[in-house]
Chains A and B, each alone.
Chain A
Amino acid sequence: MRIAVASGKGGTGKTTVAVSLLLTLAALPDADRPSKLQLLDCDVEEPNAAIFLKPVVEGQEEAGIMLPEVDTDLCTHCGRCAEVCAFHAIAVFGEKVLVFPQLCHGCGSCAYNCPSGAIKEIANPTGTISWGTVPGTRDVRFGQGEMNVGEAMANPIIRRLKQAMFKDADDGVTILDAPPGNACPVVETLRDADFAILVTEPTPFGLHDLRGAVQVARGELGLPVGVVINRTGVGDDGVLRFCEEEGVPVLLTIPLDRRIAEAYADGAALVEAIPEYREGLVALYRQILALVEGVA
């Protein structure tokens, strides 16, 4: 089962929930513990889960897209490559062919359609994926993607991370820590998940962005969703009313608590700093199991 943790609004506690759920499941008695367990940090622009999990990295590889490279001896300047490129990433000016790497999505259409076989594709790394194990657990796996500073596209790195980590893991539980927002990198993270936990806070900003997240996860992708409300005790009741009206279950609430903020500041996982939260996370997991099985 793949459980994604997303939010719309940034900084609501996605990583806190994802990491704490992972560590809680890892500590369950054997009968309840998923056979395999891993967390993928898909927030490749600003990955932070490793700060809390301190994984032992076992391997890494470059990720990115394939960029066209034009052989000037073979090129006839016919312009077919520019014609088929939907992103204007390749252009022909007289006898010159220019490639704009920042616009290229690496779809390979220019190379495939070149009538003189003048274009070959060269790997263009825009980031790194890495993987390893979480210390202090029994073989809990960790993977993360990290986009290079100055690059624009997160999706190829997220896609590569999932390809590398999904294989052989489907009989266990994979937790996906999503990037903030409601745009394409979030969709790339969520689109083959089985459930989306949406983390929000009880404020007008939290509500506004939660609406967007529900539209993406449930509306566009058809996933069952549940909400975690973080930092309760301030703000208003807009999020609660929205969840009631929309029939979105509230899986867990976490009060505004200075102890939690201080643990987070120092890179300590919530359930390690304040173990009593394990109970709530176990209950959250059981609700997800029921909701996913109910949908299937």
Chain B
Amino acid sequence: MAEDPRQLIVLSGKGGTGKTTVTAALAHLAADEVSLSIADADVDAANLELVLDVQQVASHEFTSGYLAEIDPERCISCGQCYDACRFEAVTPGEDGTSYRVSPSACEGCAACFHRCPTEAITLLTPPNGLWYESSTRFGPLFHAHLFAGGENSGKLVTLVKQQARLRALDDGLDLVLVDGPPGIGCPVISAVSGANLALMVVEPTLSGAHDLSRVVGLADHFGVPSAVLINKADLSPARAGEISDFCDTRGIPLVGRIPFDTIVTEAMVAGLPVTEFTDAPVSQVLVDTWGIIREMLMGGADDRGKDRAS
């Protein structure tokens, strides 16, 4: 029986620090040496497909959770639904006409449904998004599109990640590479659980350092070891030094310092991983970074954090 695939997630806490750029480069570099499946877990701002030249293989609807709807014919304007709702989603109609549900505020708890004395409320189950299976030069990609303002993004993240993992298990692939969402909330919790390593991409700014410490705390909470990669490291040597000190104090490996270079944007415009686009210093750092990460993930017998949260 094949060994379980290793799972690497790219996170950042703060948004826009280069997670997707790094993930695409790692996909390109890893594919030369190991077999992998890829997941884009940033389902409400999914950009990995823009630089991996994807061919869509299949698309599926994602449905999760309820949306309450009030039938104006049956509503007697008693206001019970309004009293029941804690999410400011039910509003009275003007001049005693029927109550209304604001779809953007409704969390689908069904409290109003159970309270309504005239059975005027229906629980709808609208689709919240789509998820896709695609093929890329580097391996299969599982990604999604959460509809505007959608709820339950954590569940969609779990689904996309599970699909990538199942494919890796089925085909005996070595690595599941996950492009994570920003923040530390439910989609990040869904994305980080079960990972063998979280690569934190951080910029040398006060905001970046602040957010890094929170996302490292989250990874710790779920028993996932962290590594740190500083992007645009030369923008503030002082702040980069502070991040390096933070890593030392916490015993977190600092695996690379990418210099600031607008060629990264040029690669994005060309729709290519930066390492495929250029062999500028940016790419050299990423090559070295991949070497270190590969050793951490696949070399040696260190298995800590393995799937304990899934």
Interface residues of A (CB under 8 A from B): 7-12, 15, 43, 45-46, 48, 51, 84, 86-87, 105-109, 112-113, 147, 149-155, 159, 179-188, 191, 203-205, 208-209, 212, 215-216, 219-221, 234-236, 256, 258, 261-262, 264-267
Contact = CB atoms under 8 A, between A and B. Distances in A.
B65 interface: yes
Q: Which 5 A-B pairs have the closest CB atoms?
A: A10-B15, A11-B16, A107-B109, A265-B236, A45-B183
Contacts of B218: 149-150
B115 interface: yes
A153 B16 contact: no
Size category of the binding interface on chain B: 35 or more
A220 B211 contact: no
For B13, B86, B108, B266, the residue with the greatest tally of chain A CB atoms inside 10 Å of its CB is B86
Contacts, number: 208
Q: Is the interface of B mostly helix, strand, loop or mixed?
A: loop
Nearest to B107: A105
A191 B181 CA distance: 22
Contacts of A182: 44-45, 146, 148-150
Interface in B192-242: 203-207, 210-211, 214, 217-218, 221, 232, 235-236, 238-239
A45 B184 contact: yes
Given A46-B210, A265-B204, A267-B206, 14 more contacts: A9-B45, A45-B182, A46-B14, A46-B182, A48-B210, A109-B84, A182-B45, A182-B146, A182-B148, A205-B20, A215-B148, A236-B269, A265-B238, A266-B206
A204 B17 CA distance: 15
B271 interface: yes
A281 B59 CA distance: 43
B284 interface: no
A122 to B, nearest CB: 15
Contacts of A219: 148
Contact of B182 (A10, A109, A147, A264): A10
A205 B204 contact: no
A9 B16 contact: yes
B183 A258 contact: no
B252 to A, nearest CB: 16
